Amino acid sequence: MTISPSIDPSLVTGAWRGGDPSGRRQFVDIGDLQLDSGRTIPDVRIAYESWGEFDGSNAVLVLHALTGDSHVSGPAEAGHPTVGWWDAIVGPGKPVDTNRHHVVAANILGGCQGSTGPSSRDADGLPWGGSFPDLTVRDQVRAEVALADALGIRTWRAVMGGSAGGMRALEWAIEHPERVERLFLLATSAYASADQIALSSTQIDAIRTDGAFFGGDYYDGPHGPLHGLDLARRMAHISYRSETELSQRFGRDVQDDGRFAVVSYLQHHGAKLVSRFDANSYILLSAAMNSHDVGRDRGGIAAALARVTARTVVAGIDSDRLYPLYQQQELADGIPDAAPLEVVRSDYGHDGFLVEADRVGQLARDLLA
């Protein structure tokens, strides 16, 4: 296996860990959390960021995707290696206007940027590693509900998210309809399809078969499963973009170093993720996405979607080969107060929900008006 050239071979994990710069992160301890599996995670901590003043009725919850984090808006700085992932949409005077709204974004339970996850320390003071319990999307929302309670937010003016963030937004609106007034679902689905599970499970296996994985207990080793996480990200990134974009942008161009330009591009994105993410969290969160099925124990998909009372906008990307439009159409058709499906035209594939800021931002602005 060829590792992306710019990866530090001594790196163990890209997780944020105690002692690292906190940046804009704030932390709330929500206590013990019982999971769908019957297990309990003790002393759960959730990291979050917030913008704007809370007036009791203007709170907006923004939920990140698989490898996102709480840094939705703001510059790269100590503690935050990249610009906010929705910086063009969230901020003063922007579509999700923090002069008008109190925006909250939490790092997901099981993640690696401040919330309790596999790289966190357990009751014995050791990293959880491979012993961290399996999670479902519903478990992750349960943690977000506890965070909202701790922050004194009983009702969200809007809950919004794309991809895995959209899964959690939908679960919020189904399980707690009285707490969600508006709902924005982007490039997401009511359940994980066979195709999505197949792609995700293959990425998980790429990490687990790395010789440095050690069953997830690699934190005291000389380095982490860098090859596996790099390869998983490269596989994922292909599904995040479209054939049209890759063809037009790279074609069969070869760089001076002999690499196909498209290979160099994928290796670049693999290296970026390895430097800021944790392999165990990638496995845990991917498996949670595979568990996604809003109809489970609710009488099926239609019955679950019928529970949503929020005014809803559903948007899909026309070139998305990971979450194709039929999945968003199912949401728009099944949610009682959903507007007709909004189709965002883009060559960027699934990542269009992040890249097409003008169109996506206008949809968010209209929903919040």
Q: In sequence order, which residues have a C-beta less than 8 Å from that of residue 260 and are 6 or more positions away?
A: 250, 252, 253, 254
Closest CA to 38 of 167, 130, 139, 140: 139
Which one of the listed residues 320, 346, 347, 351 is annotated catalytic?
Answer: 320
List the beta bridge partners of residue 41.
33
Q: Which alpha helices (H) appear in 133-255, and where do they start and end?
A: 137-151, 164-175, 194-208, 226-240, 243-250
The answer to whether 350 is a known catalytic residue is: yes
Question: Both tokens of residue 15?
Answer: 């997780």
Q: How far apart are CA 315 and CA 350, in angstroms?
A: 11
Pairing of strands 40-51, 26-34: antiparallel
Reduced to 3 states (helix: H, G, I; strand: E, B; else coil), residue 183 is strand
Amino acid at 217: D
Q: Give DSSP secondary structure letters for 127-145.
A: B-GGGSPP--HHHHHHHHH
Q: Is 163 a catalytic residue?
A: yes
Crossing angle (nearest 10°) for helices 194-208 and 279-290: 160
Structural contact between residues 349 and 240, judged by C-beta atoms closer than 8 angstroms: yes
8 A C-beta contact, residue 237 and residue 266: yes
Catalytic option among 73, 163, 200, 319 = 163
Q: What does the block give as tokens for 104? A: 């909250």
Residue 123: alpha-carbon gap to chain centroid:
27
User: Across-strand partners of 34?
Assistant: 40
Is 318 a catalytic site residue? no
Residue 41 CB neighbour total at 10 angstroms? 23
Q: Where are the beta strands (DSSP E) in 191-317?
A: 311-317
240-256 b/e (C-beta count within 10 Å ≥ 16 → b): bbbeebbeeebeeeeee
Contact 151, 338 (CB under 8 A): no
C-alpha span between 345 and 356 (Å, rounded) = 9
The residues annotated with a catalytic role in the active site are 163, 320, 350
